[in-house]
Structure 1
Amino acid sequence: MLKKNTIHNVLSLALPAVGEMVLYMMIWVFDTMMVGKYGGNVAVSTVGLSSEIMSTFTGIFISVGISVAVTSLVARSIGAKNINKAEEYAALGLLLGGVIALFIALSAFLFCDEILSLAGAKGEVITFGVLFMRITSFGIFFNMLANILSAVLRGYGNTKTPLLVSIIVNLVNIGLDWLLIFGNLHFPELGIKGSAIATASAQITGFVFLLIYTINKSQIKIKLKYITNLRTIKIKEILKLSIPSSLQEASFSISRLLSTFFIMHLGTIAFAANQITTTIEGISFMPGWGFSVAATTLVGHKIGEENYEGAKEYAYTCTILGVIIMSLCSILFLTIPDILIKAFISTSEIEVINKGSICLMIASIEQPFMALSMIFGGALKGAGDTKTPFNVSLISSWLIRLPLMYYFIYVSKISVVYVWWITTLQWFIDGMLLMILFKRRFVKSNFINKI
């Protein structure tokens, strides 16, 4: 039975995290929406493909790699009342993340042409995509650093400040999108280039705000002494958690990115329909992600206190609430899919709207299973088990999703609608496996041995 106090603690962490990620997702949503209204399916394909590539590598190495490790380690240190240890993990996490972020940003800037060609892009999609990726590569570097600073704050239970930052980032992005894409208020009409400038500017603004807050207000400070007196054992501890977590995200995101490349071969209409559906569904990810963050933090605290029953209670509470909210998204996808799709593209794009609506209705089926996967995975990571989510993701992404995508989409070249039946199967297997493995492994004696 759910306890009132437990629900309150979960919601106080999860809801700001949900709000934060919804708002960050809205950067992509508004970019896609505004360029879709401005330039139709070619513009949607350009921004969609470029953003997908950038977000994939950011997610693998930072958002679900270093950041998850930092949140888990900081949370457990706070639970054990060891502030110095938490600050050391924070400083070293930012150092590692900074090196990785620089490598990703430089690669995106220098090799964007080759990356887009490899993705199957052609003609105008490559021309505009190179422009978009080169400009946003500047912003993405600072966005990755901001992600790690936010992970530190979440580790000690502060999800409200990252939410505030995401509001600022969105206001800057939306305002500049409106000014620079369409040329309003006598600003130059820059189209896709304007969208890229808006995104990069907003991301840099978010980092600056977070850095100032961390220096002046955060309970956990980033201290240079932990970097100058670097202890390799702590680096290894961060990598020990982040590598399996990164591999989990890689197994999912790279398979999804390859699937995106396959879909590109179906043409810009099919790709635009898929991309708009993916963008809309991306918003529904956010409740699952928010409750996953809450599970990682709260389970980490309880494991640090050696309160295993409390950790288990928080994990189940996060899961139940997350499933309920994501099931509400299912209802919207089933009842008003055409209205949602039309918000992203001109009403004259009839074929894109029809295909996208069918895809979105199919996507409604996978929502509760997606919640199971994300939140049980987050609970396991909070307890220091990042290998189990990786193994499950490897099976569902590379043994199920990718072979089916390759055959039905790339070889047979059938309708993009089948993409969503395949992803539904993937999430069903992923969610059910993680639920079963969580029940089997989340036992006090198991975690005593593991820790």
Structure 2
Amino acid sequence: MFKEWKKILLLAVPSIASFASSTLTGTINLILVGQLSALAIAIVGVSNIIMYNAWALFSGIGHTTNYLVAQNYGSNNMKKGVERTYIAFYLCLAAATLVLLVGLLFPESIFKMLGSSPEMIRAGKSYLQFRFFAMVFSIFTFVIHGFLRGIGDTKTPMISTIAGGAFMIFLTYGLTYGNMDLPELGLIGAGIAFFIGELVTFLICAYFYFIKLHPKYETRKRIAFNPAESKLIFGESAKLGIQEFSMAMAMFVFTAFVTRLGTNALAANEVALSVMSLGFMPAFAFGSTATILVGQEVGRGNPLLGRKAGTNTTILGCIFLLILGVIEFFLAEPIAKIYTHDVHVYKIAAELIMISAFLQLFDGLLNFYAGGLRGIGDTSFLLKISLILGWLFFVPLSYVLTFILDWGSIGAWIALYSYLTVFGISVMVRFYRTSWDSIKLKSVEKEYQDNII
């Protein structure tokens, strides 16, 4: 047992550090830009929402690469893993072209569509442009991260993320305010810094993939176009991307509901979400680890060992979240006071944090078991359950509890964690009710197309 847990932690801890670095970078970046004006904070906040939803739509390419490469690594067929990664790169080229065109032509229109003020549009359109340009590289980076994690390398994604984040922070400080003999460019400078940070992250990943790994996996070898594999990867990427986008949009609607409750409620909601992001990081990290371990065991022809690995990963992840929950529950108000001294805001935020402290275990179950289901390629179920629970359960329940029953922020968060609880239990039941004896490698051959749907 100890040996298995050690293996899980060696994969999960670098992923936790990677996700923590991304969160910390975003926080520091917002603090630095926030010194410009409240308008700058609003522009960055709105841009973050826009870019998160755009990223979610294309994230399925990286998730698909991750679980397919994990299976190919386990089956000792990395020639197929590299082939599939190249097909993912071709999809990235199409996605990146679309993102580039949107960035060049539509930032102003996007702000207008969201009802932004003329002042926000004037000040923010160039910043949003650079965020779209940066995303061109982040799409490719996520695919390379998926490949690296698929072969069990979670340290390189951590290194690249930390290095890129450091560049971003350094240049934000320099280019925004003209420090360190750099030109003072204001908010545009912050956008350029974000772009360069993503470029640096991509270049580090590209170096590892095309240079360091080539002797072992022939990652620079020319790959012929395979229509059948391309169809498989496009289909899987679409399902996982729509799943992520659906969840992101459901959360967007949830935030819109809370916004209507007033400034204090919205501020408390943002504080609570920021605190709860501490729990999201280990949840994502252990979920990613479950994908790696389950996928590799399926590739080796040992699906029952994959089931066991998924269970062990869940146990460790829950221990992490339980310890974190105890701290958050008993220190909810002191933690909320770190963010604000407004008594109305930190009181509401503390209540939301206490609600979430132990219920976040269900968010963990969602991530852990969804990661395991990705490892066996059960993407159709993840898509269906995400759409059903997000739009037929979470959004209506949020509206009823928040406005009809007039429970305000508390009602909104009860709806949020009711959704996560039902979602988490659903994927857990699916994980254990799956016929593991019949699980096989994801293949383009007809008999395996829907082997677990």
- TM, length-normalised to structure 1: 0.88
Q: 1:410 to 1:113 in 2, by over 3 A?
A: farther
Task: Provide the residue aligned with 1:54 in structure 2.
Answer: 51
Q: Does 1:405 align with 2:398?
A: yes
The 1:397/1:270 distance shift into structure 2, 3 A limit, reads same
Q: Given that residues 135 and 196 in structure 1 are in contact (C-alpha distance below 8 angstroms), is that contact kept between their aligned partners in structure 2? A: yes
Q: Aligned pair 1:225/2:253, yes or no?
A: no
2:67–2:375 contact (8 Å) kept in structure 1 = yes
* Percent of paired sites with the same residue: 26
Deviates more, 1:22-31 or 1:430-439: 22-31
The 1:429/1:201 distance shift into structure 2, 3 A limit, reads same
CA separation of 1:130/1:112 partners in 2, compared to 1, >3 Å: closer, same or farther? same
| Counterpart AA for 1:150 | H
Aligned position for 1:9: 7
Q: Which runs of 5+ in 2 are unaligned?
A: 442-447
Computed over aligned residues only, the root mean square deviation of the Cα atoms, in angstroms, reads 2.8
Q: What amino acid maps onto 1:24 in structure 2?
A: S
1:157 aligns with 2:155: no
Deviation (angstroms), 1:128 = 4.2
**Greater Cα shift, 102-111 or 430-439:** 102-111
CA contact (8 A) 2:30 2:41 kept: yes
Deviation string 1:254-278 (CA, Å, 9 cap, x unpaired) is 1112333444445555444433433
243-252 or 178-187, which deviates more: 178-187
The amino acid that maps onto 1:255 is A
2:387 alignment partner, one of 390, 394, 412? 394
Deviation sequence 1:89-131 (CA, Å, 0-9, x none): 1111111123113313432453233333444544655554434
Q: 2:98 aligns with which of 100, 103, 108?
A: 103
* Per-residue Cα deviation, 1:26-58 (whole angstroms, up to 9, x for no partner): 222222344446545x54443222112201221
TM-aligned CA deviation for residue 149 of structure 1: 1.0
**Cα offset, 1:145, TM superposition:** 1.0
**What TM-score does the superposition give when structure 2 sets the normalisation length?**
0.88
**Cα offsets for 1:261-310 (capped at 9, x unmatched):** 44444555544443343333233212111111111111111111111221
Q: Find out whether 1:254 has 2:252 as its counterpart.
A: no
Structure 1 unaligned regions, length at least 5:
none
2:361 is aligned to: 368
Matches of 2:384 and 2:102 in 1, distance apart? Answer: 28
Give yes or no for contact 1:54–1:108 (8 Å, CA) kept in 2.
Answer: no
Partner of 2:352: 359
Selected match of 2:108 from 109, 113, 137: 113
Report the Cα offset of residue 374 of structure 1: 0.6
User: Are 1:436 and 2:429 counterparts?
Assistant: yes
Distance 1:318 1:165, change over 3 A: same
Distance 1:240 1:7 in 2: 34
* C-alpha contact (below 8 Å) 1:45/1:268 kept by paired residues: no
For 2:261 and 2:179, how far apart are their aligned partners in 1? Answer: 35
The number of aligned residues is 442
* 1:211-256 deviations in Å (ceiling 9; x for gaps): 1221211244544621xx2111111121232222122212211111
Q: Aligned ranges for residues 30-429 of structure 1 at < 5 Å?
A: 30-36=28-34, 39-40=37-38, 42-62=39-59, 65-122=60-117, 124-181=119-176, 184-185=179-180, 192-218=187-213, 219-223=216-220, 225-226=222-223, 229-266=224-261, 270-341=265-336, 343=338, 347=340, 351-407=344-400, 415-429=408-422
TM-fit CA distance, 1:444: 1.3
